[in-house]
Structure 1
Amino acid sequence: MQVRLFQLDSFTRERFRGNPAAVMLLQDFPADSVMQSIADENNLAETAFLVPDGEDYRLRWFTPKVEVPLCGHATLAGAAVVMERLETGRRQVTFHTASGPLPVERTDSGYRMDFPTRAAKPVPPPPGLTTALGATPVEVYGNAFNLMVLLQDEAAVRSLVPDMEAIAALPYPGVIVTAQGSEPYDFVSRYFAPAKGIPEDPVTGGAHTMLAPFWAGRLEKSEFLAYQASRRGGEIRCTLVGDRVMLEGACIFYFDGTAEI
C-alpha cells in the first residue's frame, strides 16, 4: 500500500533548522506495531499519523521507541500539511488526540496551537541527577511527563553536555533544563529524552506546556518568546490563557512523497 509521506522542519523559517517531523496520511490507523515500525524507520523524534475524521483529523505521534500522548512540533507539521497541501486555503483545523481536541489556526507568520498546560510541583532531585546533567540544579520540578531543572543561567543551559545513559536511567520519561534568557528571549531550554529514543529533541512544543506556566509565575507575565538551545535551535511564542497555552511557530517543507507500507 502506498501512502503520502511528508517531512517538515518545525519551529523555524530556515530549512535544516528547528525540529524535523514526519507526517503520514492514512485512511485508518494500522496496528500499533506497524506505526511503531514506521516511526523507527523514519528515525525522527516524532512521526505523526493523520486520519480524516469528518472536517477534523485524528492524530497520533510515535517516537522511534514509543507512542507519546502529546507532541508540539509534529502537530505543527500536521497542521501545515492539512492547510498547505491537503486543503489549500484552510485557516483552522482540530486534531483529536490522546490529549483531547487540539485546535490549530493559521496566522500571518505560521501556526498557533491551543494546548493544555502541564502543571508541575517541586520535587526532590532524583539520585544521580547532578552527575547525569554535569551541572548543579538550582530548583527541580516534576510531573508525570517530565522532570524540569532550573539552572543558574543561560550559559549553563547552552553548554550542558549530559550523560545520556544516566539521563535515561532517571525515573522520568524526559528532562527539561531551563534558565532565564537574554534579549530577545524570555527563557531558554533544552530537552533530553533518551528513554523515548530521543537523546536531545531539537525543539519541543510539549515541554513548553510545562515551561510557560512556570515562567509566568517567575516573570509575572503571560506572553513569552522562548528559544530551545539545541544544535538546530528554534523559537516558540507562548501565550498562557488559563489552563491552556498557545504555542506559535513556523515550519517549512522538506519532503513531499509516498511511502510503501
Structure 2
Amino acid sequence: MELPIYTVDAFTDVPFQGNPAAVCLVNNEKLLSEEKLQQIAAEMNLSETVYIIDTQQTGFTLGDRFRIRWFTPTNEVNLCGHATVASASVLFYQLNNQSDRITFDSASGPLITERAQPNGITMNFPLNPPERQDEEEMSKLLQIVLPKNKIHSLHYSQSTKKLLVRMTDHCTRLDFESLRPDTTAMMNAESTGKVKGVIITLKGTIDNGCVDKTGEEYDFISRYFAPWNGIPEDPVTGSAHTVSGAYWSDVLKKKSLYARQCSKRGGDIRIQIKDDGRVNLTGQSAIVLKGTFMIS
C-alpha cells in the first residue's frame, strides 16, 4: 500500500521554523489498523502525524468535508491545531482544493478551516477558558517548572487537561526563554492524569522584548510542554492557544490577540475570540516535503 504523505511547517512562512507535522491522505481507512496508524506516527517521529480521511469519497481536490485524526509518536489526541493548519494547507495550496472552506470531523467535533491571505489558514476551534487552580495541589510540579517568585497565577483547563502558569510581569522575554524544566521530572511529579500539558505564558510588552521582527508587539508569549504525550516541548501549539487565548482575552479585555510561541523553532498565531464560545486561530505554513509512505 502506498500512502501520500507531506511534511508541513505550521505557524510560519519560513521552512524549518514553526511546528512540523506529517500529513497523510487516506482514501480507505479500513486498510489501516489502529496499530498501523500509531506505527506510522512513531516512524515519522514528529510531534504530530495527521490523517485526512476521505470518508465521503469525493476526492481531496473537490471534497469539502473530511475526517481527521491526530497521533503523537506515542498516542492519539483529540485536538491538534498546528496539524490542522498543515492539513488544510496541503488541501488548499498543494492539491488546489476548489472549496471555499473545508470542515474536518474530529473527536472534538467539526473544525472549519478557510484560506487566509497571504497563504495562511484560519481555523475555528472550541474555546477552552481555564479556571483558577490552587497552587498547593500542583506544588511538586510547579517546583520543577518555575521558581515560586516568578509565578503570577495558576489556571487549569479541565476540557483539555492543560495547566496554565503565568509568569510575573517583571520577567523579561529572556527570562522566559531561558527556562529549562526537566520534563522527565515533570511526569514523575504529576502522574495522576489530571495534567497532560503545561503552558507557561508571559504578558507581552515592548519593554520586555515581546515584539516580532517588524516591531509589532505581542499581546502574550508562551511555551508548551507535554511530556505526558511524548512531546517534551512543542514548537507551536494551536490547541494550547484555545486555553491561553481565552485567558489573555479576559485579562486584557481584548478579542483580537497576537501571540508567539517561543520554542527553539517558534511561530506566530493570530487569535480572534468569537461570541459563540469558539475561537479563530490564523497562521501561515510552509510545505517542505512530499512523498509516499510504503506500507506492506
TM-score, scaled to structure 1:
0.96
Q: Is the 8 A contact 1:167 1:175 kept in 2?
A: no
Q: Is the 8 A contact 2:125 2:242 kept in 1?
A: yes
* 1:194 has 2:227 as partner: yes
Q: Is the 8 A contact 1:135 1:160 kept in 2?
A: no
Matches within 5 A, 1:34-183: 34-54=36-56, 55=63, 56-109=65-118, 110-125=120-135, 126-136=138-148, 137-144=151-158, 145-152=161-168, 153-155=171-173, 156-169=175-188, 170=190, 171-182=194-205, 183=211
* 1:248 has 2:282 as partner: yes
RMSD across aligned positions (CA): 1.3
Q: Secondary structure at the match of 2:69?
A: strand
Q: Please identify, of 44-53 and 120-129, the stretch whose mean Cα deviation from structure 2 is larger.
A: 120-129
Partners of 1:36 and 1:154 lie apart in 2 by 40
Shift of residue 8 of structure 1? 0.5
Partners of 2:14 and 2:94 lie apart in 1 by 19
Q: Secondary structure at the match of 1:192?
A: strand
Q: Deviations over 1:179-218 (max 9, x none)?
A: 1013410000000001101000000000000011100111
Q: Secondary structure at the match of 1:131?
A: helix
Q: Which is greater in Rg? A: 2
Partners of 1:45 and 1:254 lie apart in 2 by 16
Q: Is the 8 A contact 2:27 2:55 kept in 1?
A: no
**2:241 corresponds to which residue?**
208
Q: Secondary structure at the match of 1:206?
A: coil
Count of equivalent residues = 261
**1:220 corresponds to which residue?**
253
Structure 1, unpaired ranges of 5+: none
Partners of 1:102 and 1:130 lie apart in 2 by 33
Q: Is the 8 A contact 1:139 1:149 kept in 2?
A: yes
Q: Is the 8 A contact 1:167 1:193 kept in 2?
A: no
Kindly provide the amino acid, as one letter, of the partner of residue 161 in structure 1: R
Q: Deviations over 1:23-50 (max 9, x none)?
A: 0011233222111111111000000001
Q: Secondary structure at the match of 2:128?
A: coil
Which of 251, 264, 269 does residue 231 from structure 1 map onto?
264
Kindly provide the amino acid, as one letter, of the partner of residue 190 in structure 1: R
Partners of 2:113 and 2:5 lie apart in 1 by 20
TM-score, scaled to structure 2:
0.85
